[in-house]
């Protein structure tokens, strides 16, 4: 899957988890950009992302991303390996 499609899918997940259809994300989006994104909802996001993309992140990976683009890259690498 290419990055653009992954980010589109991530945007759907964000809107679902935050219950807000006015959320727009791109590869540069960071946690500070979205009001409802805190450590609690971060875990929920990860949980939903794992389910939708059928991947599992390691404990290190969950701490490693600086922005959405980096999360998307991890997802893409895992999906390519499948």
Partner 1 sequence: MLSQFKELRRIVNRIDVDNSNLATLKISLLGDSSTQFLSVALKGVALERGFKLDLFEADYNQIERQVEDPNSDLYSFNANYTIVFFSTHKLLQKYNLLADEQRNNLADESINYIQMMCKTIPGKIILFNYPEIEDTVFGSYANKVTTSFTYQVRKLNFNLMNICLQNSNLFICDTASLQNKFGRNWMFDGSKYVNTEMVLSIDSLPFISSRLMDIICAAEGKFKKCIIIDLDNTIWGGIVGDDGWEKVQIGHNLGIGKAFTEFQHWIKKLKQRGIIIAVCSKNDEDKAKEPFIKNPEMVLTLDDIAVFIANWENKADNIQVIKNILNISYDSMVFIDDNPFERNIVRENIPDITVPELPEDPGDYLEYLYSLNLFETVSFSSLDNDRTKQYKVEAERVVFQKKFTKESDFLKSLDMVSTVSGFDSYNIPRVAQLSQRSNQFNLRTIRYSETEIAAIENNDNYKTLAFTLSDKFGENGLICIVILRTISNETIFVDSWIMSCRVLKRGMEIFALNTIADYAIKNGYNHIIGEYIPTQKNGIVANLYIDLGFKKINNSIPPQFELDLNGFIPKESYIKSHFI
Tokens representing 27 are 């590869």
C-alpha 72/C-alpha 69 separation (Å) is 5
Site for partner 1 in 53-82 (CB under 8 A): 56-59, 62-63
Q: Is residue 24 near partner 1 by the rule CB under 8 A?
A: no
R_g over Cα of the chain: 12
Q: Does 21 bind partner 1 (CB under 8 A)?
A: no
Contacts of 29 (CB under 8 A, 6+ apart): 67, 68
Of the candidates 4, 12, 24, 43, which one interacts with partner 1 according to CB under 8 A? 43
CB of 47 to partner 1, least distance (A): 5
Q: How far is CA 20 from the centre of its chain?
A: 15
Residues that bind partner 1 (CB under 8 A): 16-17, 19, 39-40, 43-44, 46-48, 56-59, 62-63
């Amino acid at each position: 899957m290419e990055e653009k499609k992954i980010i589109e899918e991530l945007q759907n997940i964000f809107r679902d988890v935050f219950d807000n259809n006015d959320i727009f994300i791109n590869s540069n989006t960071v946690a500070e950009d979205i009001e409802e994104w805190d450590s609690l909802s971060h875990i929920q996001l990860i949980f939903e992302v794992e389910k939708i993309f059928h991947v599992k992140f390691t404990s290190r990976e969950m701490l490693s991303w600086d922005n959405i683009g980096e999360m998307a890259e991890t997802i893409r690498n895992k999906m390519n390996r499948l």
